[in-house]
């Protein structure tokens, strides 16, 4: 079958995802996948809005009017919130700037896309995190009598200890861990940035026990992923989410407050940040611990914790309040959606 000649829109998208985002911007695979999802939705919308097939879409269809209609579609038909709408628009802005740089003759049209404003009124979502009794209940709900249970216990204990992003945890190999005192781990963060994070002696013990079991089945255990599934393959984000949901459900029978919380893997990272903050660790240290690019990201945890707010009030009104309790190449536009799915 003869492939149709690619449109300028298709070629620009290939260069954007194949080279610009990973190589020039150094974006993480997770961020690239988020951008991919945006453009899959946009392409499908443009097909419907222009009444043309994907392979016929051109860069001239990438107008401010079409983007505005797309944003309205996200909110009204897909019921997306303002934060999601703004995140999609952010990805579109980046693509528009990329195309404008390489195609200056389109600058006038693309400048209108770049000028589309983010919508105000996006409320900062409440941060879901676990209190100490909830963390203990979650860990105690794990059956450690079998190898998978011991893996799950070590997985969530490690996540609570380090506050690592879930993908940082899944990419971890034994060569990244120092088990000798003082224990520490090297985490690969966003944009390929690495950082060292201390690990507690109890966590070191869990990882050392896991490594003993790995040595019996791996020829080169230091290169092996730390957290693998029953087939000895690297665990997935979906696998971690499933396990967390299962153990939270079990723990909620012991600690009922868990029933009212929407806990996801990133909640464990939030829990670490809040625990460090309550322990009196300064913001700069927490920011480095978590691998935040900006202190502003870390500061939001101070706004999230009710106990910290109570402490602030008690310092202002000490008599009024008691102290707190302690592949290149896609050329056929028809395959553009399929190619994006494979990124």
The full 3-state SS of the chain, as one line of letters, equals CCCCCCCHHHHHHHHHHHHHHHHHCCCCHHHHHHHHHHHHHHHHHHHHHHCCCHHHCCHHHCCHHHHHHHHHHHHHCCCCCHHHHHHHHHHHHHHHHHHHHHCHHHHHHHHHHHCCCCCCCCCCCCCCCCCHHHHHHHHHCCCCCCHHHHHHHHHHHHHHHHCCCHHHHHCCEHHHEECCCCCEEEEECHHHCEEEEECCHHHHHHHHHHHHHHHCCCCCHHHCECCECCCCCECCHHHHHHHHHHHHHHHCCCCHHHHHCCCCHHHHHHHHHHHHHHCCCCHHHHHHHHCCCCHHHHHHHHHHCHHHHHHHHHHHCCCCCCCCCCCCCCCCHHHHHHHHHCC
- In which band, very low, low, confident or very high, does the pLDDT at 317 lie, cut at 50, 70 and 90? very low
Q: Report, in angstroms and rounded to the nearest whole number, the Rg of the chain calculated over CA atoms.
A: 24
Lowest mean pLDDT among 38-52, 82-96, 112-126, 185-199: 112-126
Can you give the pLDDT at residue 114?
93
Of 53-67, 184-198, 291-305, 327-341, which gets the smallest average pLDDT?
327-341
Mean pLDDT of 122-142: 84
So what's the pLDDT on residue 169?
A: 94
In this predicted model, which residue has the larger pLDDT, 260 or 324?
260
Report the C-alpha gap between 299 and 287 in whole angstroms: 9
Highest mean pLDDT among 261-275, 290-304, 306-320: 261-275
Q: Tell me the C-alpha to C-alpha distance, in Å, between residue 259 and each of 130, 133, 160, 215, 273.
A: 12, 14, 20, 39, 22
Longest Cα separation, the chain: 82
Q: Is the pLDDT of residue 92 over 80?
A: yes
Instruction: Note the CATH architecture for domain 8-125+331-341.
Output: Orthogonal Bundle (1.10)
291-320 mean pLDDT: 60
CATH no., domain 132-304: 1.10.443.10
- How many Å apart are CA 9 and CA 89, to the nearest integer? 18
Bridge partner residues of 173 (DSSP): 225
Least confident of 55-64, 121-130, 141-150, 270-279: 121-130
Per-residue pLDDT, 322:
42
Spans of all domains in the chain:
8-125+331-341, 132-304
CA 213/CA 192 separation, integer angstroms? 30
Whether residue 119 is predicted with pLDDT greater than 80 in this model: the reply is yes
Domains 8-125+331-341 and 132-304 share a fold: no
pLDDT classification of 282: cutoffs 50, 70, 90:
confident
Contact present, 337 and 54 (Cβ < 8 Å): yes
pLDDT tens-digit readout, 321-334: 343 344 444 445 55
- What span, in angstroms and rounded, lies between the C-alpha atoms of 337 and 258? 40
Catalytic residue IDs: 165, 190, 266, 269, 292, 301
Q: Which residue has the tokens 């974006």?
A: 27
pLDDT at 148 over 90: yes
In percent, the amount of the chain with pLDDT more than 70 equals 82
pLDDT of residue 329: 46
Which conformational region is residue 6 in: left (phi greater than 0), alpha (psi within -120 to 50 degrees), or beta? beta
**What integer pLDDT is reported at residue 120 of this predicted model?**
79
């Amino acid at each position: 079958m003869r492939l149709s000649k690619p449109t300028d829109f298709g070629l620009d998208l290939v260069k954007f995802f194949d080279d610009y985002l990973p190589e020039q911007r150094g974006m993480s695979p997770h961020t690239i996948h988020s951008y991919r999802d945006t453009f899959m939705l946009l392409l499908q919308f443009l097909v419907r809005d222009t009444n043309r097939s994907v392979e016929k879409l051109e860069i001239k269809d990438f107008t401010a009017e079409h983007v505005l209609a797309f944003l309205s579609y996200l909110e009204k038909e897909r019921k997306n919130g303002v934060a999601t709408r703004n995140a999609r628009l952010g990805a579109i802005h980046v693509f528009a700037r990329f195309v404008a740089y390489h195609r200056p003759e389109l600058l006038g049209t693309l400048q209108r896309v770049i000028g589309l404003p983010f919508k105000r009124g996006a409320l900062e979502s409440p941060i879901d995190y676990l209190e100490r009794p909830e963390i203990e209940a979650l860990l105690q709900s794990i059956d450690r009598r079998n190898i998978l249970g011991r893996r799950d216990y070590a997985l969530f204990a490690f996540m609570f200890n380090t506050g690592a992003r879930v993908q940082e945890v899944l990419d971890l190999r034994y060569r990244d861990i120092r088990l000798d005192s003082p224990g520490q781990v090297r985490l690969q963060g966003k944009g390929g940035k690495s950082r060292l994070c201390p690990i507690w002696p109890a966590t070191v013990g869990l990882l050392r026990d896991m490594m003993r079991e790995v040595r019996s089945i791996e020829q080169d255990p230091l290169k092996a992923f730390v957290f693998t599934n029953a087939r000895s393959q690297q665990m997935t984000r979906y696998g971690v989410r499933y396990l967390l949901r299962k153990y939270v459900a079990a723990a909620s029978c012991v600690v009922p407050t868990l029933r009212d919380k929407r806990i996801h893997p990133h909640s464990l990272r939030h829990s670490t940040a809040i625990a460090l903050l309550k322990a009196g660790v300064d913001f700069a240290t927490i920011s480095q611990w978590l691998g935040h690019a900006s202190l502003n990201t870390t500061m939001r945890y101070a706004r999230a914790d009710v106990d910290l707010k109570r402490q602030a009030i008690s310092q202002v009104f000490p008599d009024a309040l008691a102290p707190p309790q302690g592949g290149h190449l896609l050329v056929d536009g028809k395959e553009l959606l399929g190619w994006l799915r494979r990124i």
